[in-house]
Structure 1
Amino acid sequence: MEVSGRGFQDLPEGCIAHVISLTSPRDSCRSAGTSTAFRAAAESDTVWDRFLPSDICSVLSRAVEPVECSSRRELFFRLCDPILIDGGRMKFQMMKQAIISSI
């Protein structure tokens, strides 16, 4: 079998993003430091959508104050601090799961 000299970073960004989305937020942040291709993929909404709960739109619609973010990644980190929902009777917060650095 002939080896073409191509590496993982030569895959399309969407493929790299899919692989990263199967890991954890911490691994996503770590992988961003390996190459520019990994950084772009690790910052994509495709990756961070997988780390947010499937009912996040419902949760955000119940927020006492609007939660505005420019990306799903930013939203994830914003929600690591609690927000009040349901008229202030409850709070919602994402668990960072030992993320040690941010991209």
Structure 2
Amino acid sequence: MSNSMGGLIDMLPGDCVSKILSFNSPADTFRSSMVSSMFHSAVESDVVWEMFLPTDYKDVVSRLITPLTFTTKKELVVSLCNHVLIDGGRNMF
């Protein structure tokens, strides 16, 4: 990608970049951080990662067998992608 294209991408509004990233998978979102500084900033934002969480994620977290330690939504998404047990081990998320 040429520098001029990278400059154009950086001109996108942050909410636009966040919306674009929400159409990706979490893995592709990680990779997108290398596209431009704007994408890198967006990938570090809880706003982007919250889009990957189910609407009832707080309920899911409360039902985990082993409590998760996370400080960002990104860390939570990564942890939940590793198939954690919920409901006394009867179900997997």
Bucket of the pairwise TM-score, normalised by the shorter protein: 0.7 to 0.9
Map 1:83-98 onto structure 2 (within 5 A).
83-92=84-93
1:33 deviates by 0.5
User: Which deviates the most, 7-16 or 38-47?
Assistant: 7-16
Partner Cα distance (1:13, 1:25) in 2: 18
Map 1:9-88 onto structure 2 (within 5 A).
9-88=10-89
| Contact 1:21–1:46 (CA under 8 A) maintained in structure 2 | no
Counterpart amino acid of residue 61 in structure 1: S
1:26 deviates by 2.8
Counterpart amino acid of residue 49 in structure 2: W
Partner Cα distance (2:73, 2:26) in 1: 12
- The answer to which structure, 1 or 2, has the higher relative contact order (CA under 8 A, 6+ apart) is 1
Structure 2: any 5+ residue segments left out of the alignment? 1-6
Partner Cα distance (2:37, 2:15) in 1: 14
Q: 1 or 2, which has the higher helix percentage?
A: 2
Question: Identical aligned pairs, as a percentage?
Answer: 41
TM-score, normalisation: structure 2 = 0.77
Q: How many pairs align?
A: 88
Counterpart amino acid of residue 59 in structure 1: V
Partner Cα distance (1:83, 1:26) in 2: 18
1:7 deviates by 1.2
SS at match of 2:15: helix
TM-score, normalisation: structure 1 = 0.71
